[in-house]
Structure 1
Amino acid sequence: MPFKLESETIGMLLTDVSRLLRGAFDRKVNAMDLGITPGEARTLIQVALTEGIKQAEIATRMGIEPMTLSAYLDRLEANGLVARVPDPADRRAKNVVITEKAGPLFNELMTGLREMMDAYTEGLDSEARALLCSNLRILRDNLRQLDPCLAGKETAEKAEVRVGAAQ
């Protein structure tokens, strides 16, 4: 007997939209001809969002292997777009920051991505977009809270404290 799976659940819709957006992102970055790959563009965005954190933390946030991130960072650094700087709290660690040279490329990248998202969210007014963002933040925060493996060590420790306090 064939098994029929419902395709319009939140999980299935999010998975489908995420896959489609990633493909659209890759095509958009390639079409913009910025001199960086889609993976490098994602890395540049994460570095901008998390300015000054360790490479391993960036890899975790991106859901990629540290060696993959290292290759992206090597190329971005060779192009003068990011720099690895000593972590003031740990002499052995390096933090990643965006350089001034990255500014124009980053602005062009973000302008192109905003245009892309405006096209993909056509039909949603500003209130609906704000509600969608709010609901996605709730889902993200719940995932981080309920599955500490998704959020890194700091959140895992907080989750353990909450679980311990609840017992």
Structure 2
Amino acid sequence: MPRKLESDTIGMLLTDVSRLLRGAFDRKVNAMDLGITPGEARTLVQVAVTEGIKQAEIATRMGIEPMTLSAYLDRLEAMGLVARVPDPADRRAKNVIVTDKADPLITELMSGLREMMNAYTEDLGDDGREVLRANLRILRDSLRRLDPCLAGREKGAAE
């Protein structure tokens, strides 16, 4: 008989929460009717958070293929929400920045996402949210520091 695995391990819980949050994010973005897809919204948020890093690094952070990211960026750039600029250290590479035109959209998007997250984390209370946030930062930093595949690859690692 196959062995039943524990479902409440940290890894399993994080996987479930991540999957559920992604679905909730997608539904929220669609309901907000912002004129962008959930994938484009994730890209816009990532660009705003990591302003000026290379496209390849953004794709890695998002866990998507560079070609998928490129399609999202093409559409966002066509709408005037992001711009690709030459990387000063590597003329072949492009860095991505948000434009001023994106500010109102990002403000509206982040307001909706904060509202969503507040609803989902309400039962934690303010102190519980802070503890969760602090512990997730510790876990993220440990992964960046200890995983040989990640060490030194992500901007902001172990700063």
**TM-score when scaled to structure 1?**
0.89
Residues 1:154 and 1:51: Cα distance change in structure 2 (over 3 Å):
closer
- Which position in structure 2 is the counterpart of 1:12? 12
SS at match of 2:149: helix
8 Å CA contact 1:83–1:96 kept in 2: the answer is: yes
- Which position in structure 2 is the counterpart of 1:164? none
The unaligned stretches of length 5 or more in structure 2 are none
- Which position in structure 1 is the counterpart of 2:48? 48
- Which position in structure 1 is the counterpart of 2:136? 136
- Which position in structure 1 is the counterpart of 2:3? 3
Residues 1:151 and 1:22: Cα distance change in structure 2 (over 3 Å):
farther
- Which position in structure 1 is the counterpart of 2:125? 125
SS at match of 2:36: coil
Could you list the structure 1 runs, at least 4 aligned residues long, displaced by more than 2 angstroms after superposition: 150-155
- Which position in structure 2 is the counterpart of 1:162? none
The unaligned stretches of length 5 or more in structure 1 are 160-167
Whole-Å Cα distance in 2 between the matches of residues 98 and 125 of structure 1? 33
8 Å CA contact 2:144–2:154 kept in 1: the answer is: no
SS at match of 2:106: helix
State how many pairs are aligned. Answer: 157
Deviation string 1:3-61 (CA, Å, 9 cap, x unpaired) is 11111111111111110000000000011000001000000011001100110010011
Whole-Å Cα distance in 1 between the matches of residues 55 and 154 of structure 2? 16
8 Å CA contact 1:52–1:96 kept in 2: the answer is: yes
- Which position in structure 1 is the counterpart of 2:95? 95
Q: Percent same amino acid among aligned pairs? A: 83
SS at match of 1:121: helix
How far is the alpha carbon of 1:151 from its aligned partner? Answer: 5.2
Whole-Å Cα distance in 1 between the matches of residues 8 and 49 of structure 2? 32
The AA in structure 1 aligned to 2:48 is: A
Whole-Å Cα distance in 2 between the matches of residues 39 and 101 of structure 1? 19
Whole-Å Cα distance in 1 between the matches of residues 9 and 24 of structure 2? 22
Note the aligned Cα RMSD (angstroms).
Answer: 1.7
Q: Based on CA coordinates, which of the two structures has the bigger radius of gyration?
A: 1
**TM-score when scaled to structure 2?**
0.93
